[in-house]
Structure 1
């Protein structure tokens, strides 16, 4: 038995191996798709994520069956926490659901691919640079895509602003209308408490050319996470003024806010 086979047998359970294999992805002969996705990388990544999901954050998920089994989907969530843990947990929940699992793609901030090795690793496990062109191509390819319309405004928020939704961009709605994609809202509760930041050192962030430098303890707290998936929302592709596009975005934002409130009311304790 070679080293790769030995590690695979030790780290990847038969159940997880079968789960990933049954999710069809248009990968080439070398095992990669055009955006760098790789089945083996996902299996190793999910073997670690499973422990984080089940034992560390003890994720409680409701409504994951609302993700359509086929066709283009935009999974729209609130951004929470200083690290992209929310996208990781959402993606794992969808990929490991019992009925008709899907392997979603997550739109990531432009900063992450600039970190040595990290960009390639994120691509291999399904993440893609958060560019409208990339998102459009994936929707055209009938992918399920995780997006965070708050962007940096959401991920870098301070603890005092937790669960207060920041401004949503309209880009995701334009794409949903153009590609007739379902929008599934998600309310994430718990990630705000994983790395609570009390301040952001903006001059240092600017000097380092990174989005933010939070003042926080160098530890990820094991907050219990709740993921609430709402019902799919559909919007026709009619030619309407931008003000009406904004109204549609606000309706999605309002549903995410409702799902956040639901998660907050459900949790009994932070940890």
Structure 2
């Protein structure tokens, strides 16, 4: 039988943790009763506390806090005390670094105006379907900043990217860290079922590499794979229309032979690229508008509805027509390409 545990009483406590007793013979302080006037006026206001070290540091500019936060961030990076999900998404790096790098381009250069962000659900999964344009996929990055900075819940957009993104050495790592993943139905469905906001641009290279003369004319949306994914996950589809990206690199031609040699889907020829060298890669400072349309619910359909080709065609066409109609409406309302 185990020995009984002895619980110490007050006299057995360590001296450091005992409450100090009043010295013998020390008179207790006598507090005078308030007079009639003081009772009517109420208790006097307590004196303001003297500024301590924390108040002094917190007062002035916040560069000390920013410096401390930056040093703590670097320490976590060096020691590996940070988390990534199964797709390689690093939320802290995205918020602290990647978003901070994209934000000047978003706010100052393209001056993006966002409409209808309240149509994105506050919680749960949703599939955002947008048009694709601009020769380089800056529209997807700007849409990611728009969702993160303007949504009331500050949600993160997980973009589905093409295979080419994940074979480029540096781009591959940055894309994974930013939450992007391969544009396949399996990954998209797993993200949607886990309650993530997923973004897809079904036009693919056909949309981003189309000539300038076909700007804002939506290309084919594939076979409707994004619709079947949304139906299986039971999440709404949010159409998104982006105006302004078509003009950042006006594509006047396509050097197909050079594109095949380099392994690219196209090699753009613009008024500035490749004639001005690296300077020609600078996008034109157009004015952007991103509008999120009303969500199209899919939870009323049975899971086996994802195998119905006619339903896939109708829903795909509905999403495409809604995006195209919104594009035309935004173009009519636009005063200028640059203002």
Matches within 5 A, 1:38-187: 38-42=90-94, 43-97=96-150, 99-169=152-222, 170-187=224-241
- Match of 1:111, SS state, is helix
Q: In the alignment, which residue of structure 1 is the partner of 2:309?
A: 242
Q: In the alignment, which residue of structure 2 is the partner of 1:21?
A: none
Q: Distance in 2 between matches of 1:87 and 1:66?
A: 18
- TM-score between the two structures when normalised by the length of structure 2: 0.70
Matches within 5 A, 1:7-22: 9=66
Q: In the alignment, which residue of structure 1 is the partner of 2:332?
A: 265
Give the structure, 1 or 2, with the largest relative contact order (CA under 8 Å, sep 6 or more).
Answer: 1
Unaligned runs of 5+ in 1: 1-5, 18-27
Q: Distance in 2 between matches of 1:155 and 1:133?
A: 24
Q: Distance in 1 between matches of 2:154 and 2:98?
A: 17
Matches within 5 A, 1:171-210: 171-210=225-264
Are the counterparts in 1 of residues 119 and 238 from structure 2 also a CA contact under 8 Å?
yes
Q: Which moved more, 1:129-138 or 1:238-247?
A: 238-247
- Match of 2:163, SS state, is coil
1:116-160 deviation per Cα after TM superposition (whole angstroms, max 9, x unaligned) = 111011111121121222112111211110100111111111111
Residue 98 of structure 1: how far off its partner (Å): 5.2
Residue 244 of structure 1: how far off its partner (Å): 2.6
Q: Which moved more, 1:181-190 or 1:256-265?
A: 256-265
- Match of 1:96, SS state, is helix
Residue 29 of structure 1: how far off its partner (Å): 6.3
Are the counterparts in 1 of residues 189 and 230 from structure 2 also a CA contact under 8 Å?
no
Matched, 1:232 2:300: no
- TM-score between the two structures when normalised by the length of structure 1: 0.87
Aligned length: 251
- Match of 1:258, SS state, is helix
Q: Distance in 1 between matches of 2:118 and 2:317?
A: 24
